[in-house]
């Protein structure tokens, strides 16, 4: 799945999905993940009827790709939910799973979250866009990532 998700991202980068937009790309990501693994991924969206700026959509896709990859590789989850809501001037993303979870304090102490890989990479991308990143997890209780990212309206 990891290789399939990366291949999907590369196709997105090469323009395969650039003309279709964020929502179709994320739907393909969730469908491919659900079909090829024992992980059922549900997508809920609101307000994505209109396209956002292409590089912004690509960044959002990369964030979601990394979060789904983390669930596949580390969570041992059977279900994951992705929620994307477009508000007037920001987009909200929630990704949650029913997996094994982890101790956030311990991970930060080991610098695993700040290493530039995985969740650390996502957090850096979000903060670079002047967004907020919130992580909730406990061993045995799954993980929830909450992200809000501002954007400029086009047109």
10-37 pLDDT, tens digit each: 655 544 455 678 888 898 889 888 887 7
Confidence bin at 9 (pLDDT 50/70/90): low
Q: C-alpha angle with apex 33: 32 to 34, nearest 5 degrees?
A: 95
Residue 87's alpha-carbon distances to 18, 91, 152, in angstroms, are 22, 6, 11
Q: Give mean pLDDT, residues 132-155.
A: 89
Distant-in-sequence, close-in-space partners of 35: CB < 8 Å, separation ≥ 6: none
User: Is residue 48 within 8 Å of residue 86, measured between CB atoms?
Assistant: yes
Q: C-alpha angle with apex 31: 26 to 36, nearest 5 degrees?
A: 130
Predicted confidence (pLDDT) at residue 88 exceeds the cutoff of 50: yes
């Amino acid at each position: 799945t990891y290789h399939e998700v990366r291949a999907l991202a590369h196709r997105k980068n090469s323009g395969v999905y650039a003309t279709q937009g964020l929502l179709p790309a994320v739907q393909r990501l969730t469908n491919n993940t659900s079909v090829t693994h024992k992980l059922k991924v549900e997508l809920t969206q609101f307000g994505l009827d209109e396209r956002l700026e292409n590089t912004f959509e690509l960044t959002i896709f990369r964030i979601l790709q990394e979060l789904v990859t983390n669930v596949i590789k580390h969570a041992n989850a059977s279900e994951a939910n992705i929620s994307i809501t477009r508000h007037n001037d920001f987009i909200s993303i929630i990704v949650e799973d029913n997996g094994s979870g982890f101790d956030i304090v311990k991970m930060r102490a080991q610098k695993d979250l700040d290493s530039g890989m995985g969740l650390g990479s996502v957090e850096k991308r979000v903060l670079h866009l002047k967004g907020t990143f919130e992580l909730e997890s406990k061993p045995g209780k799954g993980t929830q990532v909450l992200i809000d990212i501002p954007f400029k309206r086009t047109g």
